[in-house]
Amino acid sequence: MPAFPCTFMLMQEPINLLRESGAMLDGHFLLSSGRHADRYFQCAKLLQHPERAAAALAPIAEHIRADISANVLAIDAIVGPAMGGIIVAYELGRQLGLPAFFTERDEHGAMSLRRGFEVKPGQKILIAEDVVTTAKSSGESAQVLEALGAKVVALACVVDRRSQDIAAPWPLYAACKVNVANWPAEDCALCRKGIPVVKPGSRKV
């Protein structure tokens, strides 16, 4: 699959909203991707405020709407991997007037489409996340959706915290791009300094 640059770059307002919400944390964190980082984004603290969620995602919706009007992009539905992508997907769906639903992990930890949600063959899907580090959850969701005949065409998120060596697998619409030092667990600079690691996320690695 080809790699794409970030389509929508840093916006100061989402950064300010993250700070005001206490959603930017500094320390030594174990990410859901398995990597370690010196900053963690708890976007749920931002997304719990509907007006802030709407404001943070409005620039993404505006850019996506423009690309749809220019025939650069076509989207039939928005899917957010649980848990972090659920509110993002639904808010983008609200602003864009598109159906929004979510994938979630089953009792074995595998990403799945449940609760009666359906995709149709050829349906074009935008995957929505709160934070993208490696796009692992997005990739797992894409596999499920495309196995059912849908086509993933783009990815959107509140925070793009990918390191420079990690490319997005689809066009990426990010409200903000934040440079975060992160390392493979076996080569973590903070571990070498003996700084205890904290796992703040909800997903088991």
Residue 22 belongs to domain with CATH number? 3.40.50.2020
Q: Which domain holds residue 10?
A: 6-192
Whether residue 36 lies inside any domain: the answer is yes
Residue 169 CA: distances (Å) to CA of 1, 16, 134, 135: 6, 28, 10, 8
Of all residues in the chain, the percent with pLDDT exceeding 70 is 92
pLDDT the model gives residue 12: 61
The mean per-residue pLDDT over the stretch 112-137 comes to 91
The residue behind tokens 């649980």 is 82
Model's pTM, two decimal places? 0.80
Whether residue 202 lies inside any domain: the answer is no
pLDDT the model gives residue 126: 97
The mean per-residue pLDDT over the stretch 39-45 comes to 88
Whether residue 26 lies inside any domain: the answer is yes
51: enclosing H helix or E strand: helix 50-69
The mean per-residue pLDDT over the stretch 116-140 comes to 91
Q: How are beta strands 172-177 and 151-160 bridged, if at all? A: parallel
> In the beta sheet, which residues pair with residue 6?
172
pLDDT the model gives residue 11: 55
Between 195 and 16, the more confident residue is 195
Q: Quote the number of domains for the chain.
A: 1
Q: What is the pLDDT of residues 129-184, one digit of tens each?
A: 998 877 888 999 999 999 999 999 999 999 998 877 778 889 999 998 888 788 89
Q: What is the pLDDT of residues 69-86, one digit of tens each?
A: 999 999 999 999 988 899
pLDDT the model gives residue 193: 95
pLDDT the model gives residue 89: 97
Whether residue 197 lies inside any domain: the answer is no
Whether residue 203 lies inside any domain: the answer is no
What's the whole-number average pLDDT of the chain? 87
Whether residue 140 lies inside any domain: the answer is yes
Angle at CA of residue 173, ends 136 and 30, nearest 5°: 35
Residues found in the chain: 205
pLDDT band at 16 (very low <50, low <70, confident <90, very high): confident
DSSP 65-103: HHHHHTTS---SEEEEETTTHHHHHHHHHHHHT--EEEE
Q: Does residue 117 register a pLDDT over 70?
A: yes
The two tokens of residue 63 are 């850019």
Between 13 and 94, the more confident residue is 94
The two tokens of residue 38 are 């010196």
Q: What is the pLDDT of residues 20-30, one digit of tens each?
A: 888 888 899 99
Whether residue 35 lies inside any domain: the answer is yes
Whether residue 205 lies inside any domain: the answer is no
CA pair distance 25, 23, nearest whole angstrom: 6
